[in-house]
Amino acid sequence: MSKRAYNFNAGPAALPLEVLERAQAEFVDFRGTGMSIMEMSHRGKVYEEVHHEAESRLLSLLGNPEGYKVLFLQGGASTQFAMIPMNFLTEGKTASYVLSGSWADKAIKEAKLIGETHIAASSEADKYMSIPDLSSIEIPDNAAYLHVTSNETIEGTQYQQYPKTGNVPLIADMSSDILCRQFDATQFDFIYAGAQKNLGPSGVTVVIAKEEMIAESPKHIPTMLRYSTHLKNDSLYNTPPSFSVYMVNEVLKWIDEKGGLAGVEQANRKKAGLIYDIIDSSEGFYRGPVDAGSRSMMNITFRLASEELEKQFIKESEQAGFIGLKGHRSVGGLRASIYNAVPYDTCKALVDFMTDFQKSHG
């Protein structure tokens, strides 16, 4: 057995050991071709099979929603922040956003560069410690779409339900919680996620969208930035990030083996419950700053009485072999990112460490 770190990194993040070992076993000689998957043509049969398998496996995990297509793009979720308004924010329309945290804020800033934007609801006054109340969402009549960030990775909040938008397309940045639980993909017209948190390595960005939404793109935008280009060419217009797509396919296979979304949801609830329980039962030694109804199952943020004590926690946790527990530099505090691939035992080890830390510093 390889020695594995207690990895709570926010992204790139832990990958399943089984996936890494499988990839290692076929790294040098991919399925009898005498070369690695990185060394072969993306136009060849071997790569194309992996590419299509990843697409169909993803749709299958979502219950094969009718009329949806998968795209494999590059440039990260951050490039989607710009591509979405470039493709969908047409003359006379407004791009509507729920301002729920740091990532939503970044998405809005990019849309502002392209056209008119609108804040449908915001939790900024609450320092983003909650997802805005769905009933407070106001969508203008001329909205090109409503954009939500399903999980705010930095603050540690997550939607428990999604807004109903009627005829207005609903777009979601699911970079940090895609496939963490069962959900109805048909609520959304367009979903995107950088792969490096819950789907695989960095280098590929996954889009799942209604085909009619991405079939036509404005002609004035660059070819590579049109969704229609990638739809028409099955994400093979130019060279795709082939190794990343292969790894995503392996991660999707692993999710299948874990019982699909129902299986990973059950495991994730158990993991998150374990850590939130120790926070809530610590009599104020640990404090979860996020509203109880908006707590994330993927990124658990917590605070201690002082920044000094938080520094001490990070120092001692690192000495004990825990990686990545420091909160994002913009908000401070502590954060445990427990994506699908973080094992239960790793979470249990953290809880044991937290218990000991409280005993020696409480």
**Residues at the interface with ligand PLP (CB under 6 A):** 11, 76-78, 103, 149, 153, 173, 175-176, 194, 197
Task: Tell me how far apart the alpha carbons of residues 247 and 54 are, in angstroms, rounded to a whole number.
Answer: 9
Smallest distance from ligand PLP to CB 13, Å: 10
C-alpha angle 262-197-274 in degrees, rounded to nearest 5: 55
Residue at token pair 């407004």:
94
Catalytic-residue membership of 173:
yes
DSSP-derived 3-state class of residue 352? helix
Closer to ligand PLP by CB, 105 or 316: give it. 105
What the block records as the tokens of 49 is 């099979």
DSSP reduced 3-state for 106:
helix
Which residue among 69, 177, 189, 197 is the active-site one?
Answer: 197
Cβ closer to ligand PLP: 123 or 153? 153
254 is in an annotated binding site: no
Closest separation in Å from C-beta 14 to ligand PLP:
15
Q: Is 355 assigned a ligand-binding role in the annotation?
A: no
Closest to ligand PLP by CB, 176 or 301: 176
CB of 105 to ligand PLP, least distance (A): 10
- The answer on whether 301 is annotated among ligand-binding residues is no
* CB 82 within 8 Å of CB 114: yes
Catalytic residue among 69, 103, 254, 271: 103
Q: How far is the CB of 283 from ligand PLP (least distance, A)?
A: 32
Nearer to ligand PLP, 47 or 103 (CB): 103
Both tokens of 217, joined, read 């793109």
Q: Is residue 189 marked as binding?
A: no
**103 known member of a binding site:** yes
Tokens representing residue 31 in the block: 């399925």
CA distance 189 to 196: 22
Which of residues 304 and 334 has its CB atom nearest to ligand PLP in the complex? 334
Query: Is 165 annotated as belonging to a binding site?
Result: no
* Cβ-proximal residues to 131 (8 Å cutoff; 6+ apart), any chain: 98, 100, 123, 152, 157, 158, 159, 160, 291, 293, 294
Concerning whether 126 is annotated as a catalytic residue, the answer is no
212, 225 in Cβ contact below 8 A?
no
Question: 43 a known binding residue?
Answer: yes
| Angstrom distances, CA of residue 164 to CA of 103, 120, 212, 272, 273 | 21, 13, 19, 27, 28
**Which residue in 69, 173, 177, 210 is the catalytic one?**
173
Q: Shortest distance, CB of residue 331 to ligand PLP, whole angstroms?
A: 14
DSSP string for residues in 220-289: TS-GGG-HHHHHHTTT-SS---HHHHHHHHHHHHHHHHTTHHHHHHHHHHHHHHHHHHHHHTSTTSSB--
By beta-carbon proximity to ligand PLP, the closer residue of 313 and 339 is 339
Helix, strand, coil shares, percent, the chain, to 5: 40, 15, 40
Point out the residues that are catalytic: 103, 173, 197
Residues at the binding site for pyridoxal 5'-phosphate are 77-78, 103, 153, 173, 196, 238-239
Residues at the binding site for L-glutamate are 43
